[in-house]
Amino acid sequence: MIKMNYSRTINTFFKVSLTLVLFVTSSKAISQTNGDNKVIISKQLKWSERMALSIMHRHPEAYMIDDAKQPHWDYVHGLVLTSLEELNKQKKDAKYFDYIKKYADDLIDKDGNIATYKEEAYNIDMIVAGRILFNLYATTKDNRYLVAMQTLRKQLDNQPRTASGGFWHKKIYPNQMWLDGLYMGEPFYAQYTVAYENGAKLDDIAKQFELIQLHATDKKTGLLYHAWDEIKQMPWANKETGNSPNFWSRSIGWYMMALVDVLDYFPKNHPKQKELAAYLNNIATSLVKFQDPSGIWYQVTDKGGAPGNYLESSGTSMFAYAMAKGANKGYLPKKFKTIAAKAFDGLTSKLIKVDPNGAITITNACAVAGLGGTPYRDGSYEYYINERKKDNDPKATGPFILAALELNK
């Protein structure tokens, strides 16, 4: 009888202990698996980690982001993995570091060569993925990461420029600066020149923003046009200003994220620091006038409610990130954090779906938009509203994580 009670007591102890472990695990929230070995993502996690785990669940290898079938060096991977790197600064979880590192290792060989990368294309989109290499090199001291960074830095030395000194967006888009390109090139450029060149190129970086601010800003709305053709020869370019015809929210989002990330590398006493912060304040202030009551911004920024226009998630996520970070860092007044929180709450209440396994889906993201090319993209209102949408597009998921981190959500 005594043995039976002792055995029962031990069993009860282990059952209680197991229950407590499972409770702590589920409430603290890492992703789990159920009896069918399906991933379960806890709703008790913050949005930042829920989105990160959802991405990793859908794309077990980082190169698969954006539904890629083979590893390739690309800006969308750089964007998403940069957001996971920021998350990992808080979580310090090996699974995030390993996920990022595996992408780099799938593409960078023992000599530092980057597979699928072609310098001679002078595509500024290819620079931004290099941002993940700074921490990889600092952490591992593996020289191939440094060599890869040096390769990307060399592209910027040789990147074709407009007569006034602005980087062409791509070799195939001569004399054109796109807002997208500021994010693709300048944060990497700023981090590299501060880390390895004693900040020698900060003036050149500021120059890129000065040109866009001078030429692409609309005096009436304060918004920025998607692109500027310095020689005004493209069919989409205004013959007087060289600007494309419309305001695309994601392109403005790229520009804002570029500003708020580049400012991290400009000392407060640098002559251009206040200038860049002023650009950020100008665009943030202008955008507030076009924010929908839901908190979300429209695909074509200034035409809310026009036929076919829609509340778009990638641009809104970018605005939320830039405004929240800008307020946190003191580049923007504190009120912009409240505005960012309203935008983020609009996203989670209207454009986020939760799958049965707890993975989250962000909807209403424009898959892609550009100018020129074949088939020809004219930058018209009809063009922007008719480009396809894609759930969980990385241009939305990455900035969503970044915004969530800045808002502690």
Instruction: For residue 251, give Cα distances in angstroms to 25, 314, 352.
Output: 41, 10, 22
- Dist CA 281 CA 26 (whole Å): 42
Instruction: For residue 291, give Cα distances in angstroms to 92, 94, 288, 373.
Output: 35, 38, 5, 31
Reading the block at residue 273, the tokens are 């620091």
* Residues 80 and 131 sit within 8 Å (Cβ to Cβ): no
Cis amide leading into 375 (omega within 30): yes
Residues whose CB is less than 8 angstroms from the CB of residue 388 and which lie 6 or more positions away in sequence, other chains included: 366, 367, 368
- Dist CA 172 CA 177 (whole Å): 12
Active site residue 157: no
| SS3 per-residue string spanning 113-180 | CECCCCHHHCCHHHCHHHHHHHHHHHHHCCHHHHHHHHHHHHHHHHCCECCCCCECCCCCCCCEEEHH
- Dist CA 318 CA 341 (whole Å): 12
Q: Give phi and psi for 176, each to the nearest 5.
A: -115, 135
- Dist CA 340 CA 317 (whole Å): 9
- Dist CA 256 CA 336 (whole Å): 13
Q: Give phi and psi for 397, each to the nearest 5.
A: -65, -45
Per annotation, catalytic residue among 180, 229, 261, 302: 180
- Dist CA 150 CA 389 (whole Å): 36
- Dist CA 124 CA 145 (whole Å): 19
Where in the sequence numbering do the catalytic residues fall? Answer: 180
